[in-house]
Amino acid sequence: MAYHRFDAVIVGAGGAGLMAAIQMAGKANVAVVSKLYPPRSHTGAAQGGISAALGNVEEDHWRWHMFDTVKGGDYLVDQDAAAVLAREAIDAVYELEHMGLPFNRTPDGRIDQRRFGGHTRNYGEGPVRRACYAADRTGHMIIQTLYQQGIKNQLNFFDEHHLMDVLFSEDGQCCGVVTMEMSTGEIHVIHAKMVLIATGGYGRVWSVTSNAIAGTGDGVAITYRRGVPVMDMEFYQFHPTGLYRLGILLSEAARGEGGILRNKDGEAFCARYAPTLKDLAPRDMISRFIHQEIMAGRGINGEDYVHLDLTHLPPELIDEKLPDVTDFARTYLDVEPKTEGVPVQPTAHYAMGGLPTNIDGQVIQDRDATPVPGLYSAGESACVSVHGANRLGTNSLVDLVVFGRRAGKHMLASLEHAEWAPLPPEPEYVAQASIDRLLSAPKSGKGERISDIRSTMQKVMMADVSVERSETSLLRAEETIRQLQGAYTYASVMDKSKVFNTDLTEALELGCLLDCAEATIHGALARQESRGAHYRSDFTTRDDKNWLAHSLVYKTSGGLELAKKPVTITEFEPKERKY
């Protein structure tokens, strides 16, 4: 076992984690833990853009961006946080440019901007060009740029360390983490004054997802096991345009640049549901439109997909602005987007929910927003909440840059008066016990294999807890997940070695996914209304009287407990959402 001591430890080296670390570089002793190499983080998969009301190509104002964020989130957004997001986005984008991010440019050399779903001028009048972008690999450029800054600032990277546990002192202060070094299997205890969880989302709960295989919610689940609540887990975004069957993301930029969704009759059906914004209505709505078209038998060839049509766009525009998107269609489906429709279906994409935080990234533990001492979260693992019931396209990148930065700054300021909390006795105990159990248990019989448990979970979550849910489907999923959790306690891995044991880490990740699934279902069952991405076929309307509230789910020894937390409303009174 190895022991380290740092002022702060950051778990996850995607956009949020790196942005936080860069704030502290040179001023505090910070460890950055990643189960991958940092540039492999899933931030790199983001394609379309990062919104900021720069007004470079047409008039724009951060308050419009704030309004769109609130409305897009079906009024479950905390408006103080949305104001921070929209206002600081401008400065954050400039900061990225100063770090070297190669944005596309306007003819006069400014950062170019394009349209994106749900982003409008003058409080909903029509689409606005707000998304700053670098071709259709904006996330790639962000992760590369931040990693470059990490190297420049000589951050202490713990690459390929798998998060095993989050440590708390006896009086409840977060005081470090336990990791397993992949290349040796050695356990590391990293003692720190504060911890930032920036481990991203958990799309691998579902069978069709745009998420990386590494998107298994480790930080969220492990912290949740330690008694910290998770918030708004029932709000999980299905992106409308996943590559058919594979779930690989085709950016909304494809529609921002003029792409149109068509059913088997060739009808541009979005216009029927959302007459103003059409194909650029928010994602939850477009996913539901597609779902409804398929249910009505209007999927292509009667199957469960529709076409994303780019054939009317100038070929040179496709090459210049959507090179990766079209490359995915060619590589994986053998479809030429310049001449034929691309088969797409909704794909599990983004967790609006996660560890509840305030606007400085401090994780909070109750409806009164009491911070958990020493614990922070930012990015997709966190729920500030700026996305409410449905995140707008590009706002994930805004979120991780703005709130990663705020968390880093707050941690740095707090370090001045922070004390060392003692580690709990035997800090490695829980981590070691979970490894020992998976390695030593007898070889699993059928039904207790890690891969079987995982695929059963993914199928039931896709069938029963996706674009549409009901009490019946949710109860069915709840029962299945409970059985799988039982089976998981008997599961074991085939690979018993210490060096780079990915059989073991996949098993550990499955444990995290099951916890994320459990909390998602619990929240979805409780919330008897439809709002944003959470659509209940048995409660089809929004219920502001009872449910204009965040849900908190706690894992306790007596089972799961649910609490409500009020939504912060400052400027925009909830209204019906129309586009």
Residue in 1, 3, 27, 105 binding another protein, rule: CB under 8 A:
105
Residue 503 touches another protein, criterion: CB under 8 A: yes
Whether the Cβ atoms of residue 194 and residue 411 lie closer than 8 Å to each other:
yes
Least gap, CB of 123 to another protein (angstroms) = 25
Residues 6+ apart with CB under 8 A from 188: 1, 2, 3, 4, 158, 161, 178, 179, 180, 181
Whether the Cβ atoms of residue 363 and residue 377 lie closer than 8 Å to each other:
yes
Query: Within 159-198, which residues bind another protein (CB under 8 A)?
Result: 183
Virtual torsion, Cα 8, 14, 19, 20, nearest 10 deg: -20
Can you list the positions of beta strands (E) in 352-443? 355-356, 362-364, 371-377, 382-383
Strand partners, 343: 307
Least gap, CB of 45 to another protein (angstroms) = 6
Query: Within 426-455, which residues bind another protein (CB under 8 A)?
Result: 449-451
Six token digits for residue 408: 């880093």
Least gap, CB of 316 to another protein (angstroms) = 13
Residue 329 touches another protein, criterion: CB under 8 A: no
Residue in 8, 22, 28, 42 binding another protein, rule: CB under 8 A:
42
Q: 81 vs 325, which CB is nearer to another protein?
A: 325
Residue in 460, 477, 493, 567 binding another protein, rule: CB under 8 A:
493
Residue 248 touches another protein, criterion: CB under 8 A: yes
Q: How far is CA 149 from CA 7, 50, 142, 153, 155, in A?
A: 20, 19, 11, 6, 9
Residue 499 touches another protein, criterion: CB under 8 A: yes
CA distance 272 to 261: 12
Residue 94 touches another protein, criterion: CB under 8 A: yes
| Count of residues interacting with another protein (CB under 8 A) | 59
Phi-psi region of 374 (alpha: psi -120 to 50; beta: other; left: phi over 0): left
Residue 497 touches another protein, criterion: CB under 8 A: yes
Residue in 110, 225, 226, 367 binding another protein, rule: CB under 8 A:
110
| Catalytic residue of the set 137, 283, 391, 454 | 283
Stated as kind and residue range, the H or E segment containing 84 is helix 79-99
Q: 167 vs 450, which CB is nearer to another protein?
A: 450
Write down the residue that tokens 């310049």 correspond to.
338
Q: 141 vs 430, which CB is nearer to another protein?
A: 141
Residues 6+ apart with CB under 8 A from 41: 12, 13, 14, 15, 17, 34, 143, 200
Q: 69 vs 210, which CB is nearer to another protein?
A: 210
330 part of the active site? no
Least gap, CB of 484 to another protein (angstroms) = 16
Q: Which stretch binds another protein (CB under 8 A): 5-13, 64-72, 108-116, 161-169?
A: 108-116
Six token digits for residue 361: 């990234």
* Residues that bind another protein in the complex, under the rule CB under 8 A: 36-37, 39-42, 44-45, 54, 94, 97-100, 102-111, 134-135, 137, 140-141, 144, 148-149, 151-152, 183, 212-214, 246, 248, 324, 328, 331-334, 449-451, 493-495, 497-503
